[in-house]
DNA sequence: GTTCTAGAAC
DNA sequence: GTTCTAGAAC
C-alpha cells in the first residue's frame, strides 16, 4: 500500500513543512502500547491518530487492511499516525512501513519490557474478560515474544527507539510529546543498550526460532527453544553503535574547535574511536581542590604508565578547557620525557562535554571530577557534565552509589536518552573523587600531601580500572557474539546474544525500588561490578585507609549468622561429623540448605579470604585446588547418577563469610530453593563459574564480580530454555520437566560438568 | 544464610 | 479464601 504523495501535499495546502509521520509501535500485549499513544496524544501539539487493530471495528477487533486504510486517511489529513498493534514480526509490519515515502517518515518505538511485566499487565487487564488468565496470558506473551524480530533501519524506518525499562519509556514519551508539527527528530537507532552496560537485558537478546519446539503449547513454552528448535543468535547489526555512529558523523561539527596538543600524541579527529575506546578525563583535584600541580602531574603520568600495558587498543586523554593550562603542559612535558606512547595517551584542549561535537574526538567514556555526594552543581567539570548529561545521569548515578570516598571512582552507564550519549557518543561516565586540599571544601587534608598523594593515586587507579572494566566487558561481549555467529554461520537472522545476562528489573519492581528513600537505597547497596573501590569495599569492611572512620575490620562487616563457614574452616576438627573431606587447604561439606539434589561446598581454610572480591593472583593455586576437589566430588556423584549435570562456581557476593565454591547439580530439585534470590544466585551472571574465575585471576589478577542487586531480583527464567515464569512454584514445575539443551554459553569452556556419557549432550 | 509475617497477588 | 513475595529480624 503506497501513499499518494501528491494527494498528501495538496491536503496540507500552503502551510507545508509540517510533515506527518507514522510511528509503528512494537511490543507484546501488556507492554503499554496503547497507554503510550494515549499519553502522547493528550500532550502533543502535533495532531495524532491512533490506529488500533483491537478497537478499529467500532470498538472491536478489525483487520490489518482497515488499519492501513485509516492510516492513509489520517496521513492525507496531515495527521501523524500511531500503529498500535503488536507488530513483533517483520512480516506483520512490512505493509505499515510502506506508508512511508519521502514526505512521511516511519519511526519505530519498541516497547520491550520484561516478559514478566507484560504478563502481569495482560493478566490484570484481561482478567475480567476471563479469557486470558494466569498461565494462559503467560503462554500467549511468551509465545509472541518467541517470534519477535528486532526492527532494523533497513526495513525502512528512519528512526527506531528501543525501550527496555520504564525510564526508556519515559524518555520516548518525552521525545514524542515534545515533537511538534514542524519538528524533526534525528534518524538512527536509539535506546539500544550498549553492550554489557549491565543496565539491560531485554531486546538486545533477540531470538528467532526456525521451528516451534514440540512442547510449545505449554504455558512454559520455551523462549530459547528446545533441541527441536534451532536458535540463531546474532548481534543486531543496527544497534550498539554502527548506524548511530554514522548518523552522528553526518552532524559532527565541521568546524573543529577542540584542539589536540601537538606535542603529545595525535589521532584522527572524526571517528577517532573507531580503532579503540577512549577515556577522556579531567585533571583530578587540581582545580577547586587546589592540589599541587607538580605532584598531580607526576601521579597522572605514573598511573597512566601503569595502565599502558592493559589498554590494548584503548586510549586515555587528559582534557582541559584552556590551552594555557598548567597541569596540561606539565603532563605533556612529563609524558614526552617518559616516552609514553602518544597514540595511547595524549592531552586535549576542549570542553569535556563536547569533545565529539566540537572537537571531533569521540570518547566513549568520560571521567567526572565529582563531589563526595555525587550531586550535580558546584561548578567546573562536575556541573558541566551533569548539565550536559541531563537528569538521566543523576538518576543513573544514584542507582550506582550515593556517595564517594576520596580516592575512589564509580562507573555509571549513561542512558542512551542522555544528550551526552546521543550527541557525543558517551556510553559511561566515571565519577572520581580526589583528595581535597582546599580548606573551604569538605574533607580537607590540611596540606598533608603524603595522604593526598596516596588518595590521588588511588583515584586515578580506580578511574583507569573502571575504564578498563568497561573496555573488557565490551570486548568480551563482541567476542562472544562473534563466536555465536561462527557457531551458526548459515543462520544469522536472529538477534540474540547469549551468555550471562544482565536483566533489567521489571518496571514495577523498579518503581518500588525508586520509592525507597535515598538513605535506604544506599544502605542496601552492595556495590556493583562497575563500581571501583569506595562503596564496594565498604561492604566488605575494607575502605580506603585514609578514611579512618570507615575502616572497620573485616569480621565486623559480616553478620553473626554469616560466620558459620568461617568457624568450620578455622576448626574443621570440631565439625568432623558434618564434613565430607578435610584437606590441608580446603574442606568439603554438604550445603546445609541444598538448592539441588546435590549441592556441596568446597571451603578454603585460608584465613582472611572471605569472598571472591578478596581473591588475587597469589590465590590461583588455591582456586585450582578448590576446583579440582569440587570436580572430584562432582564426578563421584556422576558415577552414582549419570543424569546429573554439575556446575561449579562462586557467588559474586556471598552471604556467608569464607570463600566457598558451590558444586551444584543443575536439577535445582530442592524444596529449599524457595525464592527468587535463591534461583537467581545460581542461574544469572551473579554465579561466577569457577573456570572463568580462574581464568580472570590468571589474566587480570582479579575476578569480575557481577554483584548488582538487580541480578538477584531479575525475572525468573529457566536456566535451560530461558523461558520466563511468573513465580517460583511455576518455575519449579517448569524446570522439573524442561529438557531443553543448556544455553550455548554454559556449554562452553567446561562450565558444565556432565557424566562422561553425556558429555556431548548434557 | 533462614524464619517470620504483612500484604500483595491471585 | 490461599498463594506468593519481599522486607525485617536474627
Distance A674 CA to B2 C1' (A): 11
Whether residue A506 has pLDDT greater than 60: no
Phi, psi of A438 (to 5 degrees): -95, 115
Give the nucleotide with minimal C1' distance to the Cα of A512: C6
> Which residues on adjacent β-strands are paired with residue A661?
A602
Distance A654 CA to B1 C1' (A): 9
Instruction: CATH 3.40.50.300 in chain A: give the residue spans.
Output: 19-245
Instruction: CATH 3.40.220 in chain A: give the residue spans.
Output: 255-473
Distance A244 CA to C6 C1' (A): 40
The architecture that CATH gives domain A558-714 is 2-Layer Sandwich (3.30)
Q: How many CA atoms lie within 13 A of A197 on its CB side?
A: 24
State the nearest residue by CA to the C1' of C10.
A561
Which pLDDT belongs to residue A125? 62
**pLDDT tier for residue A547 given thresholds of 50, 70 and 90:** very low
**In Å, what is the CA distance from A11 to each residue of A1, A7, A8, A78, A693?**
19, 6, 5, 7, 65
State the nearest residue by CA to the C1' of C3.
A729
- Longest Cα pair distance anywhere in chain A, in angstroms? 92
Which pLDDT belongs to residue A292? 92
**Could you give the residue numbers annotated as active site of A?**
660
Which pLDDT belongs to residue A2? 46
pLDDT digits (tens, 9 = 90+) for A96-109: 888 888 888 999 99
The one-character DSSP state at A263 is S
Distance A573 CA to B3 C1' (A): 29
Give the nucleotide with minimal C1' distance to the Cα of A726: C4
Q: Which of A39-53, A247-261, A461-475 has the lowest mean pLDDT?
A: A247-261
**pLDDT tier for residue A136 given thresholds of 50, 70 and 90:** low
The CATH class for the domain spanning A255-473 reads alpha beta
Average pLDDT over residues A118-141: 57
Residues within a 7 A CB radius of strand C: A 509, 512-513, 520, 559, 561, 675-676, 713, 716, 726-730
Average pLDDT over residues A220-226: 33
**In Å, what is the CA distance from A27 to each residue of A66, A157, A357, A382, A483?**
20, 16, 34, 38, 29
Whether residue A143 has pLDDT greater than 80: no
Query: If you average pLDDT over every residue of chain A, what do you get?
Result: 76
A643 CB below 7 A from strand B atoms: no
Distance A82 CA to C8 C1' (A): 47
Bases of chain B below 7 A from a protein C-beta are 1-3, 9-10
Q: How many CA atoms lie within 13 A of A482 on its CB side?
A: 6
Give the nucleotide with minimal C1' distance to the Cα of A516: C7
pLDDT digits (tens, 9 = 90+) for A635-661: 999 999 999 999 999 999 999 999 999
A555 CB below 7 A from strand B atoms: no
Measure the CA–CA gap between A379 and A377, rounded to whole angstroms: 6
Of the spans A392-406, A424-438, A491-505, A549-563, which averages the highest pLDDT?
A: A424-438
Instruction: CATH 3.30.428.10 in chain A: give the residue spans.
Output: 558-714
User: What 3-state class would DSSP assign to A413?
Assistant: strand
Give the nucleotide with minimal C1' distance to the Cα of A725: C4
Output the CATH code of domain A19-245. 3.40.50.300
Whether residue A607 has pLDDT greater than 90: yes
**pLDDT tier for residue A723 given thresholds of 50, 70 and 90:** very high
Which pLDDT belongs to residue A597? 96
pLDDT digits (tens, 9 = 90+) for A316-334: 999 998 888 899 999 999 9
Q: Which of A204-213, A581-590, A700-709 has the lowest mean pLDDT?
A: A204-213
Average pLDDT over residues A705-709: 83
Which pLDDT belongs to residue A588? 97
pLDDT digits (tens, 9 = 90+) for A341-378: 888 999 998 999 999 888 888 999 999 999 888 888 88
Beta strand pairing call for A21-26 and A105-111: parallel
Question: How buried is A58 (Cβ within 10 angstroms: 0-12 exposed, 13-18 middle, 19+ buried)?
Answer: exposed
Distance A91 CA to B1 C1' (A): 50
Measure the CA–CA gap between A137 and A508, rounded to whole angstroms: 18
pLDDT digits (tens, 9 = 90+) for A527-538: 333 334 333 333
Read out DSSP for A84-144? Answer: ES---SHHHHHHHHTT-BTTBEEEEEEE---HHHHHHHHHHHHGGGTSS-HHHHHHHHHHH
A678 CB below 7 A from strand B atoms: yes
More confident site: A68 or A501: A68
Give the nucleotide with minimal C1' distance to the Cα of A121: B9
Amino acid at each position: 500500500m503506497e501513499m499518494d504523495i501528491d494527494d498528501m501535499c495538496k491536503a496540507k495546502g500552503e502551510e507545508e513543512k509540517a510533515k506527518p509521520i507514522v510511528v509503528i509501535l512494537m511490543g507484546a500485549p501488556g507492554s503499554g502500547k496503547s497507554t503510550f499513544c494515549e499519553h502522547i496524544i493528550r500532550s502533543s501539539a502535533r495532531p495524532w491518530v491512533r490506529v488500533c487493530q483491537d478497537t478499529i471495528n467500532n470498538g472491536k477487533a478489525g483487520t490489518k487492511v482497515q488499519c492501513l486504510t485509516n492510516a492513509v486517511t489520517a496521513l492525507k489529513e496531515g495527521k501523524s499516525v500511531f500503529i498500535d498493534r503488536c507488530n513483533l514480526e517483520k512480516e506483520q509490519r512490512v505493509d505499515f512501513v510502506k506508508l512511508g515515502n519521502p514526505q512521511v517518515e516511519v519511526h519505530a518505538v519498541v516497547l520491550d519490557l520484561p516478559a514478566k511485566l507484560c504478563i502481569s499487565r495482560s493478566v490484570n487487564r484481561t482478567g475480567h474478560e476471563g479469557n486470558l488468565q494466569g498461565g494462559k496470558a503467560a503462554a500467549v506473551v511468551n509465545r509472541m515474544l518467541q517470534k519477535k524480530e528486532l526492527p532494523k533501519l533497513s526495513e525502512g524506518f528512519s528512526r527506531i527507539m528501543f525501550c527496555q525499562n520504564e525510564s526508556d519509556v519515559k524518555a520516548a514519551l518525552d521525545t514524542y510529546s515534545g515533537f511538534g508539527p514542524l519538528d524533526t527528530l534525528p534518524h538512527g537507532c536509539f535506546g539500544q543498550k550498549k553492550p554489557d552496560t549491565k543496565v539491560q537485558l531485554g531486546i538486545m537478546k533477540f531470538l528467532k526460532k526456525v521451528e516451534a519446539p514440540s512442547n510449545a503449547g505449554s504455558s512454559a513454552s520455551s523462549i530459547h527453544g528446545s533441541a527441536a528448535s534451532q536458535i540463531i543468535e546474532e548481534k543486531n547489526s543496527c544497534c550498539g553503535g554502527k548506524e548511530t555512529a554514522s548518523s552522528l558523523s553526518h552532524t559532527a561539527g565541521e568546524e573543529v574547535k577542540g584542539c589536540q596538543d601537538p606535542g603529545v600524541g595525535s589521532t584522527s579527529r572524526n571517528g577517532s574511536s573507531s580503532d579503540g575506546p577512549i577515556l577522556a578525563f579531567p585533571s583530578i583535584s587540581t582545580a577547586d581542590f587546589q592540589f599541587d600541580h607538580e605532584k598531580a602531574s607526576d601521579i597522572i603520568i605514573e598511573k597512566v604508565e601503569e595502565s599502558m600495558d592493559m589498554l590494548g587498543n584503548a586510549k586515555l586523554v587528559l582534557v582541559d578547557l584552556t590551552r594555557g593550562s598548567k597541569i596540561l603542559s606539565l603532563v605533556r612535558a612529563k609524558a614526552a620525557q617518559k616516552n609514553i606512547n602518544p597514540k595511547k595517551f595524549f592531552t586535549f584542549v576542549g570542553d569535556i562535554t563536547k569533545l565529539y561535537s566540537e572537537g571531533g574526538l569521540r570518547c566513549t567514556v568520560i571521567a567526572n571530577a565529582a563531589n563526595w555526594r555525587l550531586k550535580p552543581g558546584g561548578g567546573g567539570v562536575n556541573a558541566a557534565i551533569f548539565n550536559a548529561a541531563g537528569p538521566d545521569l543523576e538518576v543513573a548515578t544514584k542507582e550506582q552509589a550515593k556517595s564517594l570516598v576520596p580516592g575512589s571512582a564509580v562507573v555509571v552507564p549513561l542512558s542512551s536518552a542522555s544528550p551526552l550519549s546521543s550527541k557525543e557518543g558517551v556510553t559511561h561516565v566515571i565519577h572520581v573523587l580526589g583528595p581535597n586540599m582546599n580548606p573551604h571544601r569538605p574533607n580537607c587534608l590540611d596540606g598533608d600531601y603524603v595522604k593526598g598523594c596516596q588518595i590521588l593515586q588511588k583515584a586515578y587507579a580506580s578511574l583507569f580500572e573502571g575504564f578498563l572494566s568497561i573496555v573488557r566487558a565490551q570486548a568480551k561481549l563482541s567476542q562472544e557474539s562473534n563466536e555465536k555467529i561462527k557457531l551458526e554461520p548459515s543462520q544469522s537472522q536472529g538477534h540474540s546474544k547469549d551468555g550471562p545476562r544482565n536483566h533489567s528489573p521489571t518496571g514495577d519492581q523498579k518503581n518500588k525500588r525508586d520509592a525507597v528513600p535515598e538513605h535506604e537505597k544506599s544502605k542496601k547497596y552492595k556495590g556493583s561490578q562497575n563500581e571501583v573501590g569506595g562503596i564496594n569495599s565498604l561492604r566488605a569492611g575494607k575502605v580506603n585507609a585514609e578514611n579512618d572512620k570507615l575502616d572497620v575490620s573485616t569480621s565486623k562487616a559480616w553478620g553473626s549468622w554469616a560466620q558459620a563457614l568461617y568457624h568450620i574452616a578455622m576448626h574443621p576438627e570440631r565439625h568432623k561429623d558434618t564434613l565430607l573431606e578435610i584437606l590441608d587447604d580446603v574442606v568439603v561439606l554438604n550445603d546445609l540448605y541444598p538448592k539441588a539434589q546435590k549441592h556441596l561446598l568446597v571451603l578454603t581454610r585460608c584465613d582472611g579470604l572471605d569472598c571472591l572480591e578478596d581473591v588475587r593472583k597469589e590465590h590461583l593455586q588455591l582456586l585450582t585446588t578448590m576446583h579440582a576437589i569440587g570436580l572430584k566430588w562432582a564426578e563421584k556423584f556422576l558415577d552414582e547418577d549419570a543424569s546429573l549435570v554439575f556446575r561449579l562456581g562462586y557467588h559474586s557476593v556471598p552471604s556467608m563469610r569464607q570463600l566457598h565454591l558451590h558444586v551444584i547439580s543443575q536439577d535445582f530439585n530442592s524444596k529449599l530453593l524457595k525464592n527468587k534470590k535463591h534461583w537467581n544466585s545460581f542461574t544469572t551472571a551473579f554465579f561466577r563459574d569457577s573456570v572463568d574465575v580462574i581464568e580472570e585471576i590468571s589474566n587480570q589478577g582479579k575476578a569480575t564480580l557481577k554483584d548488582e542487586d538487580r541480578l538477584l531480583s531479575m525475572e525468573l527464567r529457566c536456566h535451560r530454555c530461558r523461558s520466563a515464569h511468573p513465580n517460583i512454584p511455576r518455575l519449579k514445575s517448569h524446570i522439573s520437566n524442561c529438557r531443553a539443551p543448556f544455553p550455548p554459553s554454559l556449554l562452553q569452556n567446561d562450565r558444565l560438568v556432565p557424566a562422561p556419557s553425556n558429555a556431548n549432550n548434557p
